[in-house]
Structure 1
Amino acid sequence: MFATLRTPRNPLLRLGAVLSVFWLAACEPIAGAGGGSGPKIDTNAAVPVALLVPAGSGNTGDETLAKSLRQAADLAISDLNGVKIDLRVYNTGGSAAQAGAMASKAVDEGAKIILGPVFAESANAVGLAVADKGVNVLSFSNNTDIAGGNVFVLGPSFPNTANRLASYAAAQGKRRILVVNDQTTAGEIGAKAIEGAISRSGAQLAGVASYPFSQQGVTGAVPAIAQRVKSGDVDALFMTADTAGALPMLAQLLPDNGVNPGQTKFIGLTRWDIPQATLALPGLQGGWFALPDPSLNQRFKSRYEAAFGEAPHPIAGLAYDGIAAIGALVKSGRADALTRGALTQPSGFVGVNGIFRLRNDGTNERGLAVAEIRNSQVVVIDPAPRSFGAGF
């Protein structure tokens, strides 16, 4: 988030980013390295699992996140009904080099799979460090650039979200879609994801409009975007902006420049309900975004708060999901339960955010709900699927 986007007129821009913070510059995936198999496990003993968290960096936010990930993993283990997991926690210090060293140490000490770390560069380093040892990595990153070989990403990815929303938009007759993105790494990656999703959905790309990531950049770009919309062949604006960046400005300035959200649907690649104050923005009423299964997610939050007396970090559920997947596979009683073939089973898994499955290319597919903002409230208009059935 840039200071140039913070203005008294737009108080929401002062609030911290939540879900886009884990994007870093692209890293090289470890193509084919260690990805064809995985270690054998002793099905009669507790399975050693390494959890890599960003503690030890000296950053308060990292410490809070690390604690929440550990607690979510512990909660998941308590739900495994007889499956024994020997969870071993390693601190990465928020450093890629330390993350790689801790991963090697964990495997030398017997870990059969690695859960974490959070940041893309660290996850890439971990994958490289243990690739020749045949150990798979379930990272918390959402950066699909690092996926592949022995590295999987558990975080919600732009392509998955874009596919869900573009498909829904096309089915609702919103078939001419203009992509609007900020000129940042995440914005450009998000725009590419949306373009691909539009193509796969059968909708039509009505163009791409980008803006410099600054208050002046947004202000200067909006009139041309509005003019493009008013030309008459745009059904929807699919925006990469998040609530801590340009979204509040776009929600205000686009209607000010004659774009009617009642006619041209606003669609968001990021969560528009975090922070909740975003829901009150007039320009976002009627807008669509995707989110995990709300009922399952709320159940997790309630159980976490009851167990630990505090709310979970927004991505803590990924640690629960990772343990849930490992536990489900170990429960099968197979010595090859943690190999690539097992991890990528088509039926997938059920976690605190709904169904998900890991793909052969290291990315993930998650079942998401489509929500609309109505009267400053989130209303689910297309529920998240509960299984990976035909046609999902």
Structure 2
Amino acid sequence: MRPTAIVRNLIGRASGGLRRAATVVVATAALAACNVAAPGGSGAGGVRGDGAVKVALLVPYGSSRGSDTTVARSLENAARMAAADLGAGSVEIEVYPTQGTAGGASAAATRAVQAGSQVILGPLYADNAAAAGVAAAGSGIPVLSFSNNTAIAGGNVWVLGNTFENTARRLLQYAAGQGRNRVLVTHATDQAGQVAREAIQAAARGTGAQITGAVPYELSQAGIASAVPTIAEQARSSGSNAVFLTGNTAGDLPVISQLLSETGIGGEDFRYLGLTRWDIPADALQLPGLQGGYFALPDQGAIQQFRTRYSARYGGAPHPIANLAYDGMAAIGAIAARGQTVGRNTLTSRAGFAGTGGVFRLRGDGTIDRALAVAQVVNRSAQVVSPAPNSFGGAGF
């Protein structure tokens, strides 16, 4: 099959993404190495106060990264929009710049604790969140970070970003229900690929799916091409009926999906499952190898409503992660509205909270459950085949 111009462009972009991978690997390895100290004293039990809940918003103002100011502004806007929705007197936001560094986040968290904050919302980067957690650990103040790196979750730190484990759990459970219960994992040999593989293996427990093996590949076109025969042989010899692709549309996904499909691995015999969003950019849905495959995404109606409201209020589109600030504020406000302290017990309520992309809940280990829909690529478009659950008692949880 000759690739279309769109597909060739995607593969060309992927090549650039593969060349840039070394920088990402170094950053990911550094973040994954961060650990959060266990809280002392009352731990993450929460801090009581009178009147409005005092929220310290830690965002990367003052960062040397060119894009961080834009991200910080979008996060602040979303948090303030949520506060306005909660009503006057519910929450009080104080913004603390972190400069986008661990040292800056630690200093900001320390100032927030000294100023009497009852909860910290943010910071953005995993190493920043780990540092803020350590700084606040002895105060009983929870940290709701904008990270999705589970390596820093736990103690008094939670991640609000969607995680690999959450996505993998949803897809594996759905796929097993469709008879795709023997899953081979493919992953890059870099740190991010290792994290992805481990997340899928951990998520498989209790889903009805069995991981039949994992085949690594070097993160380059040559590396992927070299690994494809091994992946194909193992998919067949292990009796697999699904293949988990951990790559993304800006990197390895266009390359591996095309090369594998050309060997007969894919389609009806070996259903592809995607750990990343396949509809960003939308052109990726044109990839021949992805046709029929499954990937997960949040409730699009809910997230679009948030984006529309944000744009009407601020005159521009929100940053893709701005909704995390809104969700964090919504959880804080829901707890405060019940007259409860924002702390471990209330944050980890089994009922969860209503968020911008559907319901979510924070787990005792610092990770997150987010309701996700499952979409299938059909005729080069994404069709939702299993809607996002609207509670934590239904399918998908």
**Fold match by TM threshold 0.5:** yes
Q: What is the RMSD computed on CA atoms of the aligned residues?
A: 2.1
What is the match of residue 358 of structure 1? Answer: 362
How many angstroms apart in 1 are the aligned matches of 2:211 and 2:136?
Answer: 41
Cα deviation for residue 69 of structure 1 reads: 0.5
What is the match of residue 12 of structure 1? Answer: 13
Cα deviation for residue 302 of structure 1 reads: 1.1
Aligned with 2:289 (options 279, 283, 286): 283
Cα deviation for residue 82 of structure 1 reads: 4.5
The correspondence of residues 38-49 of structure 1 with structure 2, limited to 5 A, is 38-42=46-50, 45-49=51-55
What is the match of residue 5 of structure 2? Answer: none
CA contact (8 A) 1:30 1:151 kept: no
Provide, for residues 288-325 of structure 1, a one-character-per-residue CA deviation record: whole Å limited to 9, x for no partner.
11111111011111111111121111111100000000
Q: Do the aligned partners of residues 364 and 221 (structure 1) sit closer, same or farther apart at CA in structure 2, a change above 3 Å counting?
A: same
CA contact (8 A) 2:362 2:369 kept: yes
Amino acid at match of 1:346: R
How many angstroms apart in 2 are the aligned matches of 1:210 and 1:217?
Answer: 9
Cα deviation for residue 279 of structure 1 reads: 1.3
How many angstroms apart in 1 are the aligned matches of 2:187 and 2:75?
Answer: 31
Matched residue count: 380
How many angstroms apart in 2 are the aligned matches of 1:253 and 1:139?
Answer: 38
What is the match of residue 151 of structure 2? Answer: 145
Cα deviation for residue 15 of structure 1 reads: 6.8
What is the match of residue 332 of structure 2? Answer: 326
How many angstroms apart in 2 are the aligned matches of 1:63 and 1:211?
Answer: 36
Amino acid at match of 2:280: I
Give yes or no for the alignment of 1:84 onto 2:74. Answer: no
Provide, for residues 118-173 of structure 1, a one-character-per-residue CA deviation record: whole Å limited to 9, x for no partner.
11111000000011111110001111111111111111011111111111111100
How many angstroms apart in 2 are the aligned matches of 1:348 and 1:81?
Answer: 21
How many angstroms apart in 2 are the aligned matches of 1:175 and 1:255?
Answer: 20
Amino acid at match of 1:210: P
Aligned with 1:373 (options 356, 374, 377): 377
Which is worse superposed, 77-86 or 207-216?
77-86
Amino acid at match of 1:186: A
How many angstroms apart in 2 are the aligned matches of 1:38 and 1:50?
Answer: 14
Provide, for residues 49-78 of structure 1, a one-character-per-residue CA deviation record: whole Å limited to 9, x for no partner.
111111211322111111110111111112
What is the match of residue 316 of structure 2? Answer: 310
CA contact (8 A) 2:299 2:372 kept: yes
How many angstroms apart in 2 are the aligned matches of 1:9 and 1:304?
Answer: 30
Provide, for residues 26-55 of structure 1, a one-character-per-residue CA deviation record: whole Å limited to 9, x for no partner.
31132344534110021xx22221111112
Give yes or no for the alignment of 1:50 onto 2:56. Answer: yes
Give yes or no for the alignment of 1:35 onto 2:43. Answer: yes
Amino acid at match of 2:275: L
Cα deviation for residue 232 of structure 1 reads: 7.0
Amino acid at match of 2:94: R
Instruction: Give percent identity, aligned residues only.
Output: 49
How many angstroms apart in 2 are the aligned matches of 1:226 and 1:390?
Answer: 35
What is the match of residue 163 of structure 1? Answer: 169
Runs of 5+ unmatched residues, structure 1? 1-6
Q: Do the aligned partners of residues 146 and 10 (structure 1) sit closer, same or farther apart at CA in structure 2, a change above 3 Å counting?
A: same
Give yes or no for the alignment of 1:235 onto 2:235. Answer: no
How many angstroms apart in 2 are the aligned matches of 1:302 and 1:98?
Answer: 33
CA contact (8 A) 1:177 1:237 kept: yes
**3-state SS, counterpart of residue 238 of structure 1:** strand
CA contact (8 A) 1:12 1:277 kept: no
How many angstroms apart in 2 are the aligned matches of 1:201 and 1:39?
Answer: 37
CA contact (8 A) 1:199 1:205 kept: no
CA contact (8 A) 1:83 1:331 kept: no
CA contact (8 A) 1:27 1:121 kept: yes
Which is worse superposed, 188-197 or 163-172?
188-197
Which is worse superposed, 89-98 or 231-240?
231-240
Amino acid at match of 1:26: A
What is the match of residue 211 of structure 1? Answer: 217
